[in-house]
Structure formats: C-alpha cells, structure tokens
Homo-oligomer: A and B are copies of this chain.
Amino acid sequence: MQSNPDTAGPLYLGVDGGGSKCRVRLRDERGAFLGRFEGGTANVYLDFDTAIRNIRSCIGECLAAAGLPESSTARLHLGLGLAGVSTDIVATRVASQLDGFAAVKVTHDAEIACLGAHGGQDGGLIIAGTGSAAVARVRGQTTPIGGRGFIMGDDGSGARLGLDALRHALRAQDGLEPHTGLTRDLMAAFHDDPVAVIEWGRSARSSDFGAYAPLVIRAAAENDPLGLLLVRDAAAAIADLGRVLGRHGAERLALVGGLAAAITPYLPPATLALLREPMFDPLEGALLLGGCPLPRAETPQ
C-alpha cells in the first residue's frame, strides 16, 4: 500500500535533540515513513536559542525532503525528546517557542528513548554512555532516576570509569596503591608525567574522560584487578538503577548507550532477567509521544 502524503490528514514528526545533533523523522497518519533529516545540536540547557533554531530548520528540511509544501506545518503533530529538558518549566518554554503546529509535546531525551525501547508500553530505560541516567514509565507516570551529571552523579558511566581509572593511576604513580597494567597504560598515555594528567584534566570534559572507558573495559576483560574493580563498580551502579526502576513498577528494562554492551556481562542475574532488547529507537519514541501509530514492519526507518 502506497501512502499519499499530500492529503489533509495529520502528519507525525519526531525530534531527538541532543548535544551533538538533532534528528527528525516524519510519518503519516498510518505510520508510514515519509522523510527524515539530521541537523545541528539541540541541547536546550546549553544553548536554548540555537536548539530551537536547529529544530525548526530540521523540520523544514524534512518536509522539503518528503516533497511537502511549507503549509503542511499546520498538519504536524510534533513529539520532541531533548537533552536539557530537566523540568516541566523548560518543556513548556520549548513548546511555547514552537507555534504554527497542530500539536507539540516535549519531554527529555531519556523518556523518548524509553517510549521507543518498549514500543510505548510500560517499562524502564537505563542509559550507560558518557553519562548515566534512568527513567521509568509506568501507568502514565514518568520517574527519572539519576542523571545528575558528571560532577554530582553519572555512576556507572563511561566518563566516571575514565576519571576513576585516571585517579587510581595517579595514586599508583605516587606509590599510594599498586600499579596494574591499566594504571601503567594510562600513565604511559601521558608520558608517565602526573603533571601532564592534571593539566589535561583541568580542561577535560566528561566526554574526554569517557574516551578512556574502552581501555578500562579491555583491562577488565584481561582480568586486570583495577579494571575488574572499576567495571564491577559501574555494573553495580547500573544494577542499582535497575532495582529502583523495578520498585517504580518497571517489569522490563532496556539498557542503551555506548557502554551498554560492554557492561552487560558484569550485571547481576536479577538485572539481566529484566533486560529486553529495545524495540524501537528514541526517534520512534518521539513519534509515539506525538501520537503516531507504531511503524509497520515493511516501512523503511
């Protein structure tokens, strides 16, 4: 069956906006794929005006890519999941900037990931990437857990793995604890110069620390005692998030993010028993948020 975008029915557009890019996807009222576009950053906390401008620009480009006139804007039901939407106040402020659409629903990036992962059903989502965060969506109630950022939280994240490993490496360099293969490798990356580590650390962002996470993961796989300790600590932090999501009624969990696959083998059986592969991606969750029917298997993503 061929969909005909050029009718007067509703159109659904999902927006997944983050610190590095903004992705949008367009579907018709039957859930058939019409178009997509990918543009610049859309973190409303870091830069509100740029985020709104990039979101508007992505929507326009996506309509054009689907061969739809600008006037189709009034038919669009938007669902947006954006990094930096930490409160309802921020969500309302974003929605107020997006006029001229049929409907606008705004939430944070974790919630659309959760919606997508469970195809709109109840469940919980844990993000283990550069940072960490979790969210439960159960009986219409959304509960964010963690997500406190690099300084105040992010237990079980790649950034904390990298930071903790470097802190241990500096302690080992001073003789405050034994060196391991991992601490030697880390110090070697800085020519065995602790001052170089500190200078680097003064301006390093969480993603810079996260860049050392793969080294820690590999060390753990090779039974390095510090690597194992740190990865097990990270897995315990992820398990803690899963346990709290369970207490909020989530009976199935999705684990996503750059660290997800690497940390899964270290999770306890109780967490593993609840884990499910994500059904759809966060963009599909954004479409669901806007009221779009679930995509049919035969439609392209």
Contacts and interface: CB of A to CB of B under 8 A. Distances in A.
A155 B176 CA distance: 11
Contact of A174 (B146, B197, B198): B146
A50 B182 CA distance: 41
Interface string A178-206: 00000000000000001101100110000
Contact of A201 (B145, B152, B241): B152
Given A152-B170, A197-B152, A201-B151, A175 B86 contact: no
| Copy count, this protein chain | 2
Contact of A149 (B145, B201, B240, B244): B201
Interface in A29-66: none
Nearest to A204: B151
Nearest to A163: B151
A171 interface: yes
Nearest to A175: B244
Given A152-B197, A171-B155, A197-B152, A146 B87 contact: no
Interface of A: 86-87, 145-146, 148-149, 151-153, 155, 163, 166-167, 170-171, 174-177, 194-195, 197-198, 201-202, 240-241, 244, 247
9 smallest beta-carbon distances between A and B, as pairs = A152-B201, A176-B240, A175-B244, A145-B174, A148-B170, A151-B201, A152-B198, A148-B198, A149-B198
Given A149-B201, A153-B170, A176-B241, 10 more contacts: A148-B197, A149-B198, A151-B163, A151-B202, A152-B170, A152-B198, A152-B201, A153-B171, A175-B247, A176-B240
